Amino acid sequence: MTPLLDVQNLSVTFDTDDGVVQAVSDLSFHLDEGEILGIVGESGSGKSVSCLAMMGLVPSPPGRVQGRCARFEGEDLLTLSARAIRKVRGDRISMIFQDPMTSLNPYLRVSSQLTEAMRTHRQVSRKDALDRAVELLDLVHIPDASRRIHDYPHQFSGGMRQRVMIAMALMLEPKILIADEPTTALDVTIQAQILDLLGEIRQRLGTSMILITHDLGVVAGVCDRVGVMYAGRFCEMGPTDLLFSDPSHPYTRGLLRSVPRIDRPSHATLSTIQGNPPNMTDPPAGCAFHPRCEEQFDRCLVERPEWMGDSGEGQKRVACWLEESEAEGSE
Ligand SMILES: Nc1ncnc2c1ncn2[C@@H]1O[C@H](COP(=O)(O)OP(=O)(O)OP(=O)(O)O)[C@@H](O)[C@H]1O
Ligand SMILES: [Mg+2]
């Protein structure tokens, strides 16, 4: 099956006063039709930038984007003109961000913000656009939608505003919804409700999604597959259940140990990963995680591990030399 989105060898750098930041390096991944892919990693690991690059949203200068391709519905997003990518962005791929207040205009009623994209991208009457907006507010469970649609953003709670953002992102029936930390600013109960909502939307509309988060707990319930990013690269990728039940990369294992889990006794200690994220103007040689890895050995210091494991459907892959030594050990 051809994936809906196929990104190959995407790299992004930024020219800064301190040198060249290697934000994303040689990143490849795909998204299947109707799938929810989680991208997890610490702050600065390149999660947002990789999606922004794909969408033509990395400012240049200082940013530079390179890559083999980012194929989506017969087009390569990386080679589209500014105008063509803008059209994809508003229409077939939409993005929502962490803080809805920065994306919603406080001076405009929710009704005009929801209908604006539809009126510019599609030739529809104001009445039709408004009907669609009310339908979507209903879908995202805003009570009394036909009345609330005329309110201003500040009249909604944080969780409600995030629902409005999701409704806005769905107005043009995008094929892909990219949600960048959509629940980070919310308290846990509301967070769980928004994640349930994303799952429900996928079920009802078939929308494929990329869910970006630093919180492994967030991806557990809703994502089909997860990619773990470290220093601008994926270090492990595979089906969510497999990644949780049998994490291979020491970084993934470290992340898992720092998440509270119901299947572990409540007195079990949560640990953090020692050390700090690398300086991306001068990333470590070999495996970028090696300075923080308790299991590193000589090879990790000099040679970067490539993907190991089966790339087939339902399989997990990992970029770690331990995997190779284990495979040799078991032969
Ligand atoms: N406009 C920019 N100029 C210079 N460096 C940038 C710019 N945008 C991003 N970066 C750098 O690119 C790297 C990746 O950033 P990115 O925003 O993708 O991280 P992230 O994984 O999304 O982190 P977070 O969880 O904090 O959102 C970081 O080192 C960041 O400082
Ligand atoms: Mg980010």
Higher pLDDT, 33 or 268: 33
- Indicate if ligand 1 lies below 6 Å from the C-beta of 62: yes
CA 208 – ligand 2 centroid, Å: 20
- Indicate if ligand 1 lies below 6 Å from the C-beta of 214: yes
Distance from first CA to last CA of the chain, Å, rounded?
33
CA 49 – ligand 1 centroid, Å: 6
User: Burial, 204: exposed, middle or buried (Cβ in 10 Å; 0-12, 13-18, 19+)?
Assistant: exposed
Determine which residue's CA is closest to atom 20 belonging to ligand 1. Answer: 44
The backbone region for 275, taken as left when phi is positive above 0, alpha when psi lies in -120 to 50, beta otherwise, is left
Unique residue bearing structure tokens 């929502």: 96
pLDDT over 80 (residue 270): no
Residue 329: predicted pLDDT: 62
Q: 38 has which bridge partners? A: 211, 226
- Indicate if ligand 1 lies below 6 Å from the C-beta of 305: no
- Indicate if ligand 1 lies below 6 Å from the C-beta of 136: no
Q: Which tens digit of pLDDT belongs to each residue from 289-303?
A: 999 999 999 999 999
Residue 259: predicted pLDDT: 76
Banded pLDDT at 309 (limits 50, 70, 90): confident
- Indicate if ligand 1 lies below 6 Å from the C-beta of 96: no
Q: Give me the percent of the chain exceeding a pLDDT of 70.
A: 95
Q: Which tens digit of pLDDT belongs to each residue from 165-207?
A: 999 999 999 999 999 998 887 888 888 999 999 999 999 999 9
Give the three-state DSSP class for 63: strand
CA distances from residue 132 to 93, 117, 174, 178 in whole angstroms, order as listed:
18, 12, 14, 21
pLDDT over 60 (residue 331): no
**Residue 306: phi, psi to the nearest 5?**
-90, 175
DSSP string, 120-149: HHS---HHHHHHHHHHHHHHTT-TTHHHHT
CA 178 – ligand 2 centroid, Å: 12
Report d(CA 198, CA 209) in Å as an integer: 9
Determine which residue's CA is closest to atom 31 belonging to ligand 1. Answer: 44
Report d(CA 143, CA 147) in Å as an integer: 9
Closest CA to 177 of 81, 84, 91: 91
**Residue 179: phi, psi to the nearest 5?**
-110, 110
Topology, domain 5-92+172-330:
Rossmann fold (3.40.50)
Determine which residue's CA is closest to atom 8 belonging to ligand 1. Answer: 49
Report d(CA 284, CA 308) in Å as an integer: 20
- Indicate if ligand 1 lies below 6 Å from the C-beta of 280: yes
User: Per-residue pLDDT averaged across 310-315, rounded?
Assistant: 82
Report d(CA 95, CA 170) in Å as an integer: 10
- Which of 43, 49, 54 gets mutated to test ligand 1 (max ligand atoms within 8 A of its CB)? 49
- Taking the CA of 231 as reference, the closest ligand is 1
Residue 99: predicted pLDDT: 72
Report d(CA 32, CA 37) in Å as an integer: 9
- Which of 17, 20, 47 gets mutated to test ligand 1 (max ligand atoms within 8 A of its CB)? 47
Q: What is the residue extent of each domain of the chain?
A: 5-92+172-330, 104-169
Determine which residue's CA is closest to atom 29 belonging to ligand 1. Answer: 44
Determine which residue's CA is closest to atom 3 belonging to ligand 1. Answer: 14
Residue 280: predicted pLDDT: 95
User: Per-residue pLDDT averaged across 249-265, rounded?
Assistant: 81
- Indicate if ligand 1 lies below 6 Å from the C-beta of 213: no
CA distances from residue 227 to 44, 230, 243 in whole angstroms, order as listed:
15, 10, 9
- Taking the CA of 23 as reference, the closest ligand is 1
Residue 186: predicted pLDDT: 82
Closest CA to 35 of 67, 78, 6, 70: 6
Residue 117: predicted pLDDT: 84
CA 189 – ligand 2 centroid, Å: 22
Atom of ligand 1 nearest to the CA of 280: 29
325's CB contacts (< 8 A; 6+ apart) are 297
